[in-house]
Each structure stands twice: as C-alpha cells, then as structure tokens.
Chains A and B, each alone.
Chain A
Amino acid sequence: MSAGVGALRLPRFRWRRKNKARPGSAALTFAREKRQILGVLAFAVALPFPMNEPQPEGVVGMPGLMLYLSVVGFYIWRVAAEREATLPMWAMNILGLAYIPWFFYRLRSVGPAHIAKPMVELLLFGLVVKLFSMRRESEKWHVTVLLFFLFVAAMATSVHPLIIVYLLGFLVLWLALLFRFVHLHLLATYRDAVPARRLGIQPLLAACAMLILAGAIPFFTLLPRLRTPYILGQGINPPRQSYSTGFRDEVSLDVVGNIRQNEAVALRLKPEGSTLKAPRMLRGTTYDTFEHNAWLKSETKSTLLSPAAHNFYRLRDGEVDGKMRVWLEPLDSRSLILPMETLSVEVSQRLLSDVGGGVLISQPRRGILEYRIGIGSRPVYLADSPDLASETEPTLDATSVSPRVRELSELLTADLPKAQVVERIEQYLAHNYAYTLDFLGRETENPIEDFLFKYRSGHCEYFATAMILMLRSVDVPARLVTGFVGAEFNPLEDYYIVRQSNAHAWVEAWIPEVGWATFDPTPPAGRPEIRSPNFGMLVRQAWDYLEFRWDRYVMSYGFFDQIGLLIRMREAWRRFESPFKVPASDPGGRPDGTGPLEWEGIPPQVAEAFRIGVLGLFVASLAIGLVAVSVFRRKFDVTSAYRSLRTAFGRRDPSIGKATAPLALLSWAESHVPHVAEPSGQLIERYLLEIYAGRTVKGSDASSLRRHLRAIRSGLRKGPRGSG
C-alpha cells in the first residue's frame, strides 16, 4: 500500500490540443480538476498585495496585480476549456532568462528596506511559470508550496484587520484543496469498492474550519514571543509618513493644515472610571524659535526623568482625580501625547523631558504604545520660567517680527497691563480673522504678515504663530504648542478616539503672576471639538473598534501581554478557588475547630457568584444529560427485550449467553423458572416472529412486550407465588 499522498503515482500525461475526457480516463479528469483548484487558489492568493504594506502602492502595485491576474485567469480559462495550458520549454527558458535582469533591477531600485517587493514578485512569477509548466502529477505539490509561501507573504505584510477575511477564506480553500487532493489520489490509486455520488463533506469541512479557528486561539495566545511585535504600520515607512504638528524638530506652517484632513486615528483614551471625562487638550511638544516661516526647537537637549517607582513617573505633585489608559498609534515621533492635566505616567519606557516641558520616550516605537496616566484638576506646565533678563531667551526672540506686526500689537495693547495684553491679542485674532484650510494661490514670502493684513484667514498654526509674534513684540514670552484638541466617544467600548484631524496648535504665554498659561487664538470654527454622534460616525467608530482590537490584541500582542494574561489567569484561578479555601484564622470556622465550612469570611459577592455558578452548572448538566439521554436512548424493540430477558436469565445461570438459542432459553425457563415461563414464551415467540418471519413489533405489541418483560423481572425477583 502506498505510504501516503506524497507517494502519488498517477499516470504521466501531457495535455493535448483538445483534451476531451475519455471514458475510463479518470486520471486525466482528476488532473484537470487539480489544475483548476490550483488556478483558483493562485488567482485568490495575490489579491491583498496592493493593500499591504509598504503603502501607498502595496507590496505589488495594481498594474502588476492586474497583469498577474490576467495571466492566471487565462490559465484557468484554458484548463476549463480543456485546451492546452503548457508553454514549451524554450519559452519557459526565455522567460526565466528575461526575468533575471528585471529581478536585479528591482532589487536595486527598491532598496534593502523593501526587499519584500521583489521577492514577492519573484514568487508570483515563479508561480505563473510553474502553473504553465505542470506536466507531471507531482508538480502540483510544487505549485502548492509556492502558493503557501505567497499566502504567508500576503499575511506577513498586512496590518489591515480585513486580512482576517482573507485568512478565513484561505483556510477553507486550503482544507478543500487538501481533502480533494487526497480523495483524487485515493480514487486513482485504489479501487473504489463503494462509489459514492455525493460525499457530503462540506458541513464537515465547515465544522473543521471552525474547530481549527477555535484551536488556533490558544496557540496564538501562548506561543512564546521572544521579540517585540513587528508592525509595518503607518508612519514607519517614508512614503506613508504623516507627520503631526509638533512631532518633529521642525514644523512648517502648512503641516497642521494637511493633517487636519487626515481621519486616521492618532491615539485612543480610555478613562478608568465612569466619572472621568475626556481631556480637552492633549499636549505634544513645544517650539520656541520661528525662522524662515518654520518653527524650531532652540535646544534639543532633554533631561532624563527619574521614576518614582518601576515604570512610574510623577511629573508634578498633586491629587490624582482619575486614571486613564492611552494607546498611541505610531507617529514617527518620540513625543508622548499627554493631557494638559497629567500628573503621572506609567509606561514601560524611560521618559525624558525637553526644555519646553514636552515628555519624550527614550526609544522610538514601531507599534502601538500603551501607557497609563494620572489626571489632575489643573493644567500642568513642566517648563521652567523664562529668563526675562536674558537677551537670548528664545521665547522672547522677536527677530522674525516685522514692523507692521509690531505696530499692530503695540496699537492693540497700548496702556494695557501685561495680564490683559495676552487676552486682548487672543480675542482680537479670534474675532477678526477667519479660519480656512484653503491656501491655494497664496504667496509664501511673508505668510504671517499676509495672514494679518492681506488674507485675514488661516488655520490654527497661523493664528498661533501670529499671536506669538505679536506677544513677543510687546515683550511677553510665548511659544507654540502642538497637540490634539477634542475627541470622539466610541460607545462600543467606552473610549475616546483622537484622530489626526484633531491636531491643533495653540499658544503658551508667560504671565508673571500666573506662570505659563494656555491661549488659543483660533476661532471656535477652527478648533477641533468633541463631535456629536451620527450614523456615519457610528460606522466609523465600529470600524475603529475593530481596528483598535486588531491592532491592540493581534498585531501588537507580545511577550508582556502574555505575562499579563498569565497573571490574570492566575488571579482568576485564585478567585475561583478562594471560596473553597478558608484561611487558618478564618472566623467562620466552627468553634470546635473541626473545619471551617461556613460561608462567613468570604465576600458575599463571591459567595453569591459561586452559588449562582454552581446552580447554573447543575442546570446546564441536567439539560445536557436530558438531551444526551433523548439522543442516546436505545429504541425499545423486540430484540432489545429479548436481550434483556437473556441477560436476566444469564444472571441466574452463567451458562446462558449469546450462544444460547431462543428455544433453549425457553426450555430453560420452563425447567428452572416455570412461573415466568409463560411471559417468557410469548416474548421469545415475538422475537422469533420478527427475526425469522419479518413481523415487526408495533405500538400495542411494544407495550405488551414491556408488560411481559416487567412480569418476568418481577417474577424473577419475587420467586414463585406461595414459595414464601
């Protein structure tokens, strides 16, 4: 007998011009079916590549995919039409030779960072060539292995949650392929003694796929993770970098305007407690130098913060009103986005602080960064006081202030105390200028002066920059702050979504009596706000919920998640077994010390949950038992009655067994237990009639059989009447 599928030895064949299935030529038909299956899989396997990383063109661009699909579609059509689908060997050789320089050209052009692209292209080319060069039966396994590697490549380069649909689809296709290959192999190798027209395998394959999925979950959860989760996500690769304002050392004036049109999620916040509201302003970082129409940091040096405890950093003393968990998407920045009121941070990285009071992480991250923050009631400013006496104080640097701007600010703030100067300029800008993201046709020579005197409209960065320059012109220290304002609430899991479109720029100004204070000169129309829910938003939020879960629990799942999971499992087990354990000093123990079996000492909620759990378990067991009994209950018929009779007699006489003939059983009954001979005779007679004459027992007969059996059992138990 063959060792297995691998030892497949179907007849070697070549496709002919018109390969009609000949009668009895099963192998040919089988081979065509296998080619069709492989063709369909080859068609489907490449579909995700344009959507995969690196974006925007994907691993394989749309033109490349269309070319590949056309060729594979042509192959499928040729096979379905029973036409020749093999290229001559010389054509294969020419194709192979032609591809070598193209492959090296691609390797050079994409660079080592995107080596996946030419490799996947090579695999696709190899698959197409292999499809068209399949001559032997064993070569279908070569195609299958190539398909598998392409499937793995499609999976490994995807970060999209919809890849799960691809995964499920391919799981079913793989199962169908393997089953069909085995079936065809067996049909071709052995004689099918009982040919079946329909196998009815589809429900089993569906169940099989579900079982595999269920079985894969614990494997995925527990397989050891030795490295940080590897994510080819947004912001990692240069073509898709979407810098948020403030997340680089230099930001031009147009950055925020571009980001405001991006709906991608920047971070998610989940309050740990129902009373804690979403923070309004999330601070990213600050800039103090405005040169050549761009904001810079005058000093990039940062100070290492010392943790108060392991992974715990206290930024400022104060009473924490509540905690909040943050999941920060990759933003190609080391800045930690924190609410203005943040007092403490719990994060698994070292933290640093820059001169503007921004908080940084020590290592740039590639995946989602999760951290926990303690929120106070007032905004917290970590930056030092400005050195007002110094000429080099960057927050007072007015070299970029034009005379017209200085004139305007002096005009506006004449005779006003310092404390009111800031508010006056803020109000002036907010009420006299319009918000717009349309900068088409504007000159870029002197954008702030144009904003103030010519166009009188701009976005938040223009408003903030203009305010800062005006403040500095009247000797008020000020700097630019970038971050996010507003969020949308996702009711599906009670968390807030902050999108790139929530990016904002505002001003921090120094007021001698107060210190640093926040001002936002942008008109309300230009401020991202907490949005009111509508249907479109709900759909988006549902998608975000899915994406969040995918990113958080699948893509970013790593070693520390495993540790956390194991700890939670241990805690759950302890909670479960705690009702059974009573400490030695348990006051609920009996006075005589024989054993503490009372419920005292156990929290009432735990006890109640335990009782309900036990009751539920009992009810579930009962229901399962009833269902099982109804399913497995043996149907009462004359054969089962006869067997019961034989068993009952067998207990009296060990020589009675399966080999005892029915009439011998009757004669034994007449001689040994004559008081039950009559019902035994009737039962045996019914049995013989059914077995040898084909008269089946029906309704009323069945009840009489039961009566006879009861009488026999009762007679055997009680003995003959009058015997005492």
Chain B
Amino acid sequence: MGKRRVPEGIRPTKVGIWFVGLCLLIGVAATNTGNNALYMVLALMLATLIVSGVLSRNNVRRVDVEVDLPEEIFAGSEAGFQLQLNNDSRFLPRWLLLISFSGQSQTLLCSHLPHGATRTMLAAMTFPCRGRQRLTTVHLATLFPLGLFRKGMRQSVDIEILVYPRIRPGGYTRRSSFVAFGATPDRSIGWGHELHSLRPMRPGDDLRRVHWKQTARTGKMIFIERQAEQQRRVSVVVDNALDPSDGLEAEEELESRISLGASAALDYINAGFEVELVTRTACLPHDGGARLRRRVLETLALLETVPPTGAPLVGDAEAALEVRFDGASVEALG
C-alpha cells in the first residue's frame, strides 16, 4: 500500500475570510490615521494569520493513516472500515483532525492525538453499486488552531474493493413450499443412504441389501431397509442478458435481478441447500457452505451483461427447485 502524502493546500474558512477583511479594515484605518495602536493590532492580526497557517500545516503532517477492510461489503449497506491513526511526530500532539475517504464516508473527528500515539476508529461507508471499487485516498483535514484556515492532506491508500450486490431482506426459504425439498432423508422407505429399519428377508428382496453381520449373528437372513432421500438442491438462475438498446430502466431491472439472485442464493445457502448459480456468462455447480457463498457473491458482484440470445437459460435438471430471476419471474419472487 503506497503511503504518498500530498498536501491539498490551505483554504480560508468563512471566519478566515472575515479575519482577513478585518485585517484590511484595520490596515486602512491605521494607514489613514497613523495611529500606532492600530498598527499594533494589525501587526498582531497578521502574525496570527501566519502562525495559524503554520500550525495548521504542521497539524496534518506526520500523521499516518492505515485502513483495515471489512470482510464483506454489500452495495447499499454500511460497511465499517477500521482506520488506524498514527501520530509520528516526536513532540507535538495533533488536534482537531478530520478524516474521511475521498468524500464517500462520513467524516470522523479526532480531537486529540498525542505524539507517538495510535488511535483506532471505525468509519462507516456505503457503496451505491456492486463491482470493483477503488479507495484511492484518505483525506486528513484540520481547522486547528483558530479555524481561520482549513488545511488538508491527501494520503494515497490505493485499495481495491469488491462490492457485493445489494442484499434484499431474506425469506425465500420460508416464503416458498419447497422448503421440504432437498437431499434430506425422508421417513419413508427408499433408496437413500440412511438406515430406516432391519427386517427378515422376503422373497424378491435384493440380495445386495442383506445385512450380513446380523444374518450371521441371528442365523436368519436380515434385510436392510433404507430411508428414502429427497433432493435439497436449488438452481438460482439469473439472466444477465441485456439489450444495449434498452434504456436505463432495463439496466436497473437487471441490477435488481442480480440483487434478488444474490439474496436468494445467500438465503438458500444459509438454510443448508445446495445451490447452483446459473447465469449466461458463468455457472457455478451445486455446492454449499461458506466457499460457495463467497463464490456466488463474487460472481454476481462481477457479473457483466451480455446481449440477449434466443437460447433459454436452464438450470440443472436434477435440482429440486429452480429460482429464476429473469424478466418473467422477478415479479413473482421479488
């Protein structure tokens, strides 16, 4: 991470402009009357301007800012960035520091930072849209000591951030009846993996399912009955086709689809489903857990539009449920 610091110049505040105006007024009065008491006041005011400027400039120097990123950043939601403020000065504390990220975050105030000290603070920032974002600079500013000038310092941080799609309020798993679907054991007898019961062998039973240990122990042919299993697989289909001639509304609708797709996928993953993500440019096979969650979010964060083709977008045929986020189904599910 580069730490280049660039001074942003010195800008007079309203009070500073008033102060300069009063300086001019007193200057005219002093010159006009020859009154040395007025010259004294004027000299003090001019010296105040200089000392204030110098102290203001010094106050933002030798202050180092380090940024720690949050694990996940979703568009439209506040993300907490941890800022570590180090005062590298050997002698002088720093007062009234204002810290912000390129105008994107709220401005934080650090009233007092002793020399050689480090302070940690949390800056909340909200990104409006998904995709790759760059945090190029951290702004340090100060009105110290008298509020006559605002002195700024820009420190380059150059961080690339992947902003995940906006997440809508959850409830997909509760809302639909397919909550019972998936690869969970059913209580009926079937061909799953879990044991249902043991019973004596009957004619016509498959010999491959004889429980040989029990047969040897009891002297009777014992048959294993297994539970039936149902699929808990969901295909989340997000259609990212967009005609370039379509307007802004279509783009917004696509973003909405992606947002809904991400919300649904996260819901199902959190509920223990195996989720398959199908888009026109990328396809993630059925999987679950944290790894898939990250891959789904990354894929949807970087999802780009493609021109529409005639081929329909189809998920895995074995999936118990297909959640479609295309032009037709968004309304129903969203």
A631 and B108 CA atoms in complex are apart in Å by: 33
Say whether A195 contacts B146, CB under 8 Å.
Answer: no
Say whether A155 contacts B41, CB under 8 Å.
Answer: yes
* 13 A–B pairs (Cβ distance < 8 Å), ordered by A: A4-B143, A181-B147, A185-B147, A190-B109, A192-B111, A204-B55, A211-B51, A212-B44, A215-B50, A225-B34, A227-B33, A227-B34, A554-B40
Residues of B within 8 A of A195 (CB): 111
* CB-based nearest A residue for B110: A194
A219 and B170 CA atoms in complex are apart in Å by: 69
Distance between B144 CB and nearest chain A CB, rounded to angstroms: 7
Say whether A5 contacts B14, CB under 8 Å.
Answer: yes
* CB-based nearest B residue for A198: B112
Of A191, A198, A220, which is within 8 A of B40 by CB? Answer: A220
Of A151, A191, A204, A215, which is within 8 A of B145 by CB? Answer: A204
Apart from A155-B37, A178-B146, A215-B46, what 16 extra A-B contacts exist at CB < 8 Å? A1-B100, A4-B11, A4-B12, A4-B16, A7-B13, A175-B145, A186-B109, A193-B108, A193-B110, A193-B122, A199-B95, A211-B51, A217-B43, A223-B27, A223-B30, A225-B34
Say whether B22 contacts A4, CB under 8 Å.
Answer: no
Distance between B98 CB and nearest chain A CB, rounded to angstroms: 7
A212 and B49 CA atoms in complex are apart in Å by: 9
Residues of A within 8 A of B14 (CB): 3-7
State which residues 131-164 of A face B: CB under 8 Å: 141, 145, 148, 151-152, 155-158, 163
Residues of B within 8 A of A187 (CB): 109, 111
Which bracket fits the contact residues of A?
A: 35 or more
Residues of B within 8 A of A228 (CB): 34
Could you mark each residue 190-230 of chain A with 1 if its beta carbon is under 8 Å from any beta carbon of chain B, else 0?
Answer: 11111110111100110010011111110110011111111
Say whether A208 contacts B55, CB under 8 Å.
Answer: yes
Say whether B38 contacts A216, CB under 8 Å.
Answer: no
Of B16, B17, B36, B121, which is within 8 A of A194 by CB? Answer: B121
How many B residues touch A, CB cutoff 8 Å? Answer: 63
Taking chain A's interface residues, is the majority helix, strand, or loop, or is none over half, making it mixed? helix
Could you mark each residue 218-245 of chain B with 1 if its beta carbon is under 8 Å from any beta carbon of chain A, else 0?
Answer: 0000000000000000000000000000
Distance between A167 CB and nearest chain B CB, rounded to angstroms: 7
Taking chain B's interface residues, is the majority helix, strand, or loop, or is none over half, making it mixed? mixed
A152 and B15 CA atoms in complex are apart in Å by: 18
Contact A152/B109 with A211-B51, A223-B39 known, Cβ cut-off 8 Å = no
Contact A179/B38 with A187-B111, A196-B111 known, Cβ cut-off 8 Å = no
Residues of A within 8 A of B26 (CB): 152
Could you mark each residue 137-152 of chain B with 1 if its beta carbon is under 8 Å from any beta carbon of chain A, else 0?
Answer: 0000101111110100
Distance between A381 CB and nearest chain B CB, rounded to angstroms: 38
Say whether B98 contacts A156, CB under 8 Å.
Answer: no
Say whether A199 contacts B18, CB under 8 Å.
Answer: no
**Does B31 sit at the interface, judged by CB under 8 A?**
yes
Of B47, B145, B148, which is within 8 A of A213 by CB? Answer: B47
A158 and B121 CA atoms in complex are apart in Å by: 52
Say whether A155 contacts B38, CB under 8 Å.
Answer: yes
* CB-based nearest B residue for A52: B37
**Does B3 sit at the interface, judged by CB under 8 A?**
no
Contact A152/B38 with A4-B13, A192-B109, A212-B51 known, Cβ cut-off 8 Å = yes
Contact A226/B35 with A1-B100, A5-B13 known, Cβ cut-off 8 Å = no
A226 and B93 CA atoms in complex are apart in Å by: 43
**Does A182 sit at the interface, judged by CB under 8 A?**
yes
Could you mark each residue 101-119 of chain B with 1 if its beta carbon is under 8 Å from any beta carbon of chain A, else 0?
Answer: 0010011111111000001
Residues of A within 8 A of B112 (CB): 194, 196, 198-200
**Does B32 sit at the interface, judged by CB under 8 A?**
yes
Distance between B63 CB and nearest chain A CB, rounded to angstroms: 13
A721 and B4 CA atoms in complex are apart in Å by: 44
A486 and B113 CA atoms in complex are apart in Å by: 65
Distance between A209 CB and nearest chain B CB, rounded to angstroms: 9
A3 and B44 CA atoms in complex are apart in Å by: 26
Say whether A156 contacts B35, CB under 8 Å.
Answer: yes
* CB-based nearest B residue for A4: B13
Distance between A476 CB and nearest chain B CB, rounded to angstroms: 50
Say whether B111 contacts A194, CB under 8 Å.
Answer: yes
Say whether B150 contacts A4, CB under 8 Å.
Answer: yes
Say whether B47 contacts A215, CB under 8 Å.
Answer: yes
- Nearest 7 interchain pairs by C-beta: A6-B14, A4-B13, A215-B47, A227-B34, A193-B121, A182-B147, A196-B112
Distance between B53 CB and nearest chain A CB, rounded to angstroms: 11
**Does B96 sit at the interface, judged by CB under 8 A?**
yes
State which residues 63-109 of B face A: CB under 8 Å: 85, 90, 92-93, 95-96, 98-100, 103, 106-109
Of A186, A205, A558, which is within 8 A of B96 by CB? Answer: A186
**Does B48 sit at the interface, judged by CB under 8 A?**
yes
Residues of B within 8 A of A211 (CB): 47, 51
Interfacial residues, chain A to chain B (CB-CB below 8 A): 1, 3-7, 141, 145, 148, 151-152, 155-158, 163, 167, 171, 175, 178-179, 181-183, 185-187, 190-196, 198-201, 204-205, 208, 211-217, 219-220, 223-230, 554-558, 631-632
A220 and B18 CA atoms in complex are apart in Å by: 21
A171 and B14 CA atoms in complex are apart in Å by: 21
Of B43, B50, B85, which is within 8 A of A220 by CB? Answer: B43
Distance between B299 CB and nearest chain A CB, rounded to angstroms: 31
A555 and B40 CA atoms in complex are apart in Å by: 10
Contact A201/B143 with A148-B22, A156-B37, A193-B121 known, Cβ cut-off 8 Å = no
Say whether A554 contacts B93, CB under 8 Å.
Answer: no
Say whether B39 contacts A6, CB under 8 Å.
Answer: no
Say whether A227 contacts B32, CB under 8 Å.
Answer: yes
**Does B297 sit at the interface, judged by CB under 8 A?**
no
A223 and B15 CA atoms in complex are apart in Å by: 24
Residues of A within 8 A of B12 (CB): 4
**Does B264 sit at the interface, judged by CB under 8 A?**
no
A227 and B46 CA atoms in complex are apart in Å by: 21
Say whether A163 contacts B37, CB under 8 Å.
Answer: yes
Of A3, A199, A208, A632, which is within 8 A of B51 by CB? Answer: A208
**Does B42 sit at the interface, judged by CB under 8 A?**
yes
Residues of B within 8 A of A216 (CB): 40, 43-44, 46-47
Of B29, B51, B147, which is within 8 A of A4 by CB? Answer: B147
* CB-based nearest B residue for A196: B112
A167 and B147 CA atoms in complex are apart in Å by: 21
Say whether A557 contacts B43, CB under 8 Å.
Answer: no
Most chain B CB atoms below 10 A, which of A175, A182, A228: A182
A30 and B41 CA atoms in complex are apart in Å by: 29
A81 and B119 CA atoms in complex are apart in Å by: 37
Of B34, B95, B121, which is within 8 A of A230 by CB? Answer: B34
Say whether B31 contacts A212, CB under 8 Å.
Answer: no
A179 and B145 CA atoms in complex are apart in Å by: 6
Of A167, A171, A230, which is within 8 A of B35 by CB? Answer: A230
Residues of B within 8 A of A558 (CB): 34
Distance between A114 CB and nearest chain B CB, rounded to angstroms: 15
Distance between A370 CB and nearest chain B CB, rounded to angstroms: 15
Residues of B within 8 A of A3 (CB): 13-14, 150
Residues of A within 8 A of B39 (CB): 220, 223, 225, 557
